[in-house]
Amino acid sequence: MKQGGGTSSRALYERGLKVIPGGVNSPVRAFGAVGGVPVVFNRGEGPYLMDVDGQRFLDLVMSWGAIILGHAHPMIVSKITEAVKSGTSFGAPCPDEVKLAEHICGVVPSVERVRMVSSGTEAVMSAIRLSRAYTQRSKILKFRGCYHGHADAMLVRAGSGVATLGLPDSPGVPPGAAGDTLVARFNDLNSVIGLFDESKEDIAAVIVEPVAGNMGMIPPAKGFLEGLRSLTSDRGALLILDEVMTGFRVGPSGAQGLYGIAPDLTTFGKVIGGGFPVGAFGGQAEIMDQMAPAGPVYQAGTLSGNPIAMRAGLATLEYLADPSVYQGLESMSYAFAEALASEAERAGIALQTSVVGGMFGFYFAEDTVNSWEEAETCDRERFASFFHGMLEAGVYLPPSPFEACFISTTHGDPEVEYFRTAVRAAMSIL
Ligand code: HOZ
């Protein structure tokens, strides 16, 4: 079974291997966790991707959550086509970056100022620098299995990409860069309290994915985010919600709106770029105004606030301003998760599912998964076989058991039925 891509995908992958490390530009794409040849795509339309061998797949990766209105949405295509005609990069302020910032500040109450960057990694790296400067402390507390991009300080117990490759951390991260990163257990407040007690007022910030999406998908336990909010306030640390995945995907003001948490800083990415490379970080004016040139904390980028990316992001967020969009997304995510759960039950296979807004996850496991420690006990071999069965049946799932699934506004009832048929076929041979 483990074949993956067809003849043309294989040929391109083999060419790529000679000129790109591992043949891919981001490790999980190499199918390391599932085996076989990565599928090479050349077209997307709505909820579907077409590969270079002419096969069509129902896409449940959606560019790792970035594409929320479906591939090549005609309104986005028209807006960016119009924008491109006026130039592709100015390296200077442009109108749409102001409009996008106004929009974000208008719908996310904890964000009074926002700085645009070009990726989620950059957003996190900058938010961490800012929180250290603001608090004049050095340590950062993160959670095992949460991924916050590939900046040195964050490549500690970092979930999917690293776990998929079986690497504990990354060579090249000097001990000094990671030495101030403390690691607690997701959904376990006591582990956070313990680290605060040990580190004697030196924790600058706690950073967390409010819905963990890089160890499969794990929603926050009741009281976990609220507990982090009060602990950080009590101990003089900042709370950074990493909403690169969840921002504008799980609700109109992200996971913080859904769970009623006001962080000090938020990082964004994926959806806010409308399919272009955009990240952002924002928060209260008093903190954000420490950023240069308003304040002394340095950060810069030639393509930050790029006019095409800003136009795509703004058009996407304006479309999402109608809250009924999120009701539709969430009920569709539930429909996909239900198809998985009912087919697993029918096949007598132990499976756990979870849903938040426009994302869902599943584990081949007997019990509910609440942390990385529980996620890593899931049946990875069964996932790999299931992944390839689904691929054969025309469904593209994330090629790792430690990633979340994402849908778009173009995923509807016909796609759920198509998915259900594929799940039944794939489960019948597990
Ligand atoms: N691990 C990344 C998403 N959670 C992969 C991103 C990519 O390959 O594009």
CATH number at residue 329: 3.90.1150.10
Q: Which atom of ligand 1 is nearest to the CA of 25?
A: 8
Whether ligand 1 lies within 6 angstroms of the CB of 65 is answered as no
Residue 121 CB–ligand 1 contact under 6 Å: no
Same domain, 248 and 354: no
HSE-up (13 A, CA, CB side) for residue 102: 6
149 Cα to the center of ligand 1, angstroms? 9
CA of 24, closest atom in ligand 1 = 8
What Å distances lie between residue 270 and 113, 125, 243, 316, CA to CA? 19, 16, 9, 11
Q: Are residues 314 and 378 in the same domain?
A: no
Residue 182 lies in a domain: yes
Q: Is 402 contained in some domain?
A: yes
* Residue 1 falls inside a structural domain: no
Would you state the pLDDT for residue 183? 92
266 lies in some domain: yes
Cα–Cα distance list, 354 to 22, 208, 338, 374 (Å): 32, 18, 10, 14
Residues 238, 182 share a domain: yes
CA-nearest residue for atom 2, ligand 1, is 161
Tokens representing 371 are 């942390």
Residue 236, SS3? coil
Q: Which pLDDT does position 408 carry in this prediction?
A: 98
pLDDT of the residue at 131: 98
The protein residue with its alpha carbon nearest to ligand 1, atom 5, reads 28
Query: 96 and 182: one domain?
Result: yes
Element (H, E) at 363: strand 359-363
Mutate to test the pocket of ligand 1, among 26, 150, 400 (most ligand atoms within 8 A of CB): 26
Same structural domain for residues 91 and 38? no
Q: Is the dihedral of CA 341, 346, 347, 349 positive or negative?
A: positive
Inside any domain, residue 2? no
The CB of 406 under 6 Å from ligand 1? The reply is: no
Nearest to 213 by CA among 263, 166, 158: 158
Q: Tokens 């491109």 map to which residue? A: 84
CA 259 to centroid of ligand 1, rounded, Å: 25
Do 148 and 24 sit in the same domain of this protein? Answer: no
Among the candidates 319, 354, 387, a domain finishes at 319
* Confidence at residue 172, expressed as pLDDT on a 0 to 100 scale: 84
In the chain, the number of structural domains is: 2
Whether residues 42 and 114 fall in one domain: no
263 with 361, same domain: the answer is: no
Could you give the CA distance from residue 81 to residue 86 in angstroms, rounded to a whole number?
Answer: 9
The pLDDT, as a whole number, for residue 178 is: 82
Helix (H) or strand (E) holding 254: helix 254-259
Model pLDDT, residue 205: 98
Distance from the alpha carbon of residue 48 to the mean position of ligand 1, in angstroms: 19
| 421 CA → ligand 1 middle, Å | 27
Determine the distance separating the centroid of ligand 1 and the alpha carbon of 28, expressed in angstroms.
Answer: 6
**Domain final residue pick, 301, 319, 337:** 319
CA distance 269 to 171: 26
Provide the CATH number for the domain around residue 311. Answer: 3.40.640.10
Residue 152's pLDDT is what?
Answer: 86
Stretches where the chain sits below pLDDT 70 are: 1-2, 159-169
DSSP letter at 244? T
CB of 161 shorter than 6 A to ligand 1: yes
- Span from the CA of 146 to the centroid of ligand 1 (angstroms): 13
Q: Is the CB of 26 under 6 A from ligand 1?
A: yes
Nearest atom of ligand 1 to the alpha carbon of 404: 4
Reported pTM? 0.96
Q: Is 88 in the pocket of ligand 1 (CB under 6 A)?
A: no
Mean pLDDT of all residues belonging to the chain? 95
Q: For atom 1 of ligand 1, which residue has the closest CA?
A: 161
Say if residues 215 and 354 touch (Cβ distance below 8 Å).
no
Q: Is 104 found in the same domain as 20? A: no
Give the range of the structural domain holding residue 296, as residue numbers without chain letter: 74-319
Cα–Cα distance, 370 to 390 (Å, whole number): 26
Cis peptide upstream of residue 293 (ω within 30 degrees of 0): yes
| Ligand 1 in reach of 357 Cβ (< 6 A) | no
Shared domain check, 79 and 64: no
Q: How far apart are the CA of 95 and the centre of ligand 1, in A?
A: 30
Which of 41, 62, 64 has most ligand 1 atoms within 8 Å of CB, for mutation?
64
Ligand 1 pocket test target in 25, 28, 29, 124 with most atoms within 8 Å of CB: 28
**Do 124 and 236 reside in the same domain of the chain?**
yes
Tell me the CA–centroid distance for residue 63 and ligand 1, in Å: 8
**Closest atom of ligand 1 to CA, residue 29:** 8
The protein residue with its alpha carbon nearest to ligand 1, atom 4, reads: 214
Asked whether residue 308 is assigned to any structural domain, the reply reads yes
380's enclosing H/E stretch is helix 380-392
CB 273 within 8 A of CB 247: no
Q: What is the pLDDT of residue 14?
A: 97
Reported as type and span, the H/E element at residue 239 is strand 238-242
Contact 278, 118 (CB under 8 A): yes
Residues acting as catalytic residues: 147, 242, 270
Instruction: Give the Å distance between the CA of 277 and the centre of ligand 1.
Output: 13
Listed residues 319, 338, 356: the one ending a domain: 319
121 is a domain residue:
yes
- Say yes or no: CB of residue 119 within 6 Å of ligand 1: no
Domain annotation covers residue 45: yes
Give yes or no: residues 278 and 357 share one domain.
no
The 3-state DSSP class for residue 17 equals: helix
Smallest CA separation from ligand 1 atom 3, residue: 64
